[in-house]
Chain A
Amino acid sequence: MRDSSPIPSSEVTPEETFRNRRFFMKSAIWAGSTLATAGLYRAFSPQAEVRNTGAAIATVAESGVQTSLAADEKVNAFNDIAGYNNFYEFSTDKHAVAEKARHFVTDPWSVQVGGLVHKPRTFDLAELLKFESVERIYRFRCVEGWSMVIPWVGFPLSQLLKMVEPQSTATHVAFESYHDIKQMPDSVYAGIDLPYVEGLRLDEAMHPLTLLATGLYGKTLPNQNGAPARLVVPWKYGFKSIKSVVKITLMDREPPTTWSLANPGEYGFYSNVNPSVDHPRWSQAHERRIGEMGSRPTLMFNGYAEQVAHLYAGMDLKEYF
């Protein structure tokens, strides 16, 4: 105050105006804060439904393959399968992957198959889609403790491996995912080394249950599920089923695998689904089936023990986890 002369009455705000202004300010603060709080919550809440826009894939009927699903296990909705993905190249937020992978270019594509083989070759997308496709309804168990039932479309990996004729010294198969920082800018937040690499023992790779999947729900794979072609190993934790494969290499030793490199104490090479071998930070005895309340007991080898247990005869699965 420069001078202490009384304020002339003409300068005094009439009470009504004052009240109105006060009311207006309060209303604005109410509206602003509510919008901000709700907006923040919304930013973190799950995204909208994902639609199945793939092209249809013709499948052939097969007999003699038991994927042994109990009658009480329902196939998960497309939106569950295609709207909730671990694909760290695009995002570590499982609900955000579908949107982030929307513009991922999967055509042209090539898968380079080499290493200890007699006939190394590169398969382009058309050649991959030429294999006779079958539909396989498998359980899918994530190491995080959730699971789904997924109707994959694809072909047994053994068909592709037989074409390149593995040499007698080959004991393992290494896989590598596509990685391109330009197409996957958020991969800098992944917290794991990329490109993603995985591996199987040759007998696991040749097992009739092991698929190279090119589709689900009768249509080509959505980008977020590992288009155009991904591995599916139903008796192992999901991270073994490497997405968007660009390289398959036959080797004579155990190949390095991404999660084992990132955290060797928590993720082993084998990573077979096993209710009696816990993850160091959580139990694996139960799982949450997406779409169900409560939890269900986890099955040995994810319910495929009958078909795969012989692969591990005499092995201590706690040691080879």
Chain B
Amino acid sequence: MDSNLFPEGVTRCGLPKFMLWLTLVSAVLLWGVYAAVQVFMYGIGVTGLDNYFGFGLWITFDLAVIALGAGAFFTGFLKYILKIDQLKNIVNLAVILGFLCYSGAMLILTMDIGQPIRAWFGYWHPNVHSMLTEVIFCITCYCTVLIIEFIPLVLEQKQLNKIPFLHHFAHHLHVNMALFAGIGTFLSTFHQGSLGGMYGVMFGRPYAYREGFFIWPWTFFLFVLSAVGSGPVFTVLVCTLIEKMTGKKLVEYKVKALMGKIAGTMLCVYMFFKIIDTWAWAVGYLPSVGLTFEQMFHGNIYGQWLLWTELGLCGILPAIMLISPAIKNNPSLLYTAAILDCIGISINRYVFTVQTIAIPVMPFDSWQMYAPNWAEWATSLMICAYGVLVLSLCYRYLPVFPQEVKLNKK
């Protein structure tokens, strides 16, 4: 029925089936909207956050999706600035994912701050010493850049593209894409970094505090590296998931392996510095404030296993897997490594957010437990549902995958 809206030369499932899918996704979305309304009406007291855990699931979720959304700026940088041409086959998806991750994170933030209508104060009364000010600036500007990068793709929709004005407009944006990719890279690098810096400057919190380089604590650089070491493989994973669900080939395996190699290389660099950082923190900084490495962990949910999983199973292992040609060229091993990589980065964001504030810093204080409640889960899932919804529409109606027609020729 809607087949004349499909991209040139492709096939899609029937409209009723697609509608059923959208209904399922929308149900999750609506549950989240209900929670969001509660939050806006009654305040964030309805969540599981409390005076110890001012930061919780929302911030963890934000940081994780922003890191995984780094595929957008990094792939854009490699494609448009370093001119790695093969990446043109996946860059559209990377841009859409980046847009979804960033806009999703911003939606969560409007709920997460206690005074959403004052969100713009970050521009009006900026504190130049605060890493969060840098985050506010870069995240909003970068989101705008992502919208600009996303628009030409929407305009390439078959029917829209027949309108001469829109066609030319899209063309002009395309021609200037290197410029936007450049700005995006700059903005995104900075705020990925300042998200790390946000934790690294908290000198009252020994789990997160790091000395550093000029005004930037080490975590600034570690966050940038970990984001570029995981973003590209997240894009690959999403692409593969769409392929599995639709039963089509969308991107040549060679391109995926290349993305894996790029992420793997960056992950190796990241792990190198992360291990040195952890070592210096454990044997140098912690004793200087009278604490030991063992004191940073507690019970199961704050156990050392988190650190070892992050560094070993979900760090060193996928880094090695992604750079070894034999493994990288085997799809299931590549995907396994990619999943481990993404899990590792998410653990990192979780411990920096939750473990950091769960640790008793005053000697007579005690460990605190935090469990997100339904309102936080529902709103976080709402963002996932929003992502799935937009992605489904993009896949159905926009020419996202340039290789699709060729790869699916019977």
Asked whether A and B interact, the reply is no
A residues near B (Cβ < 8 Å) are none
Interface residues of B (CB under 8 A from A): none
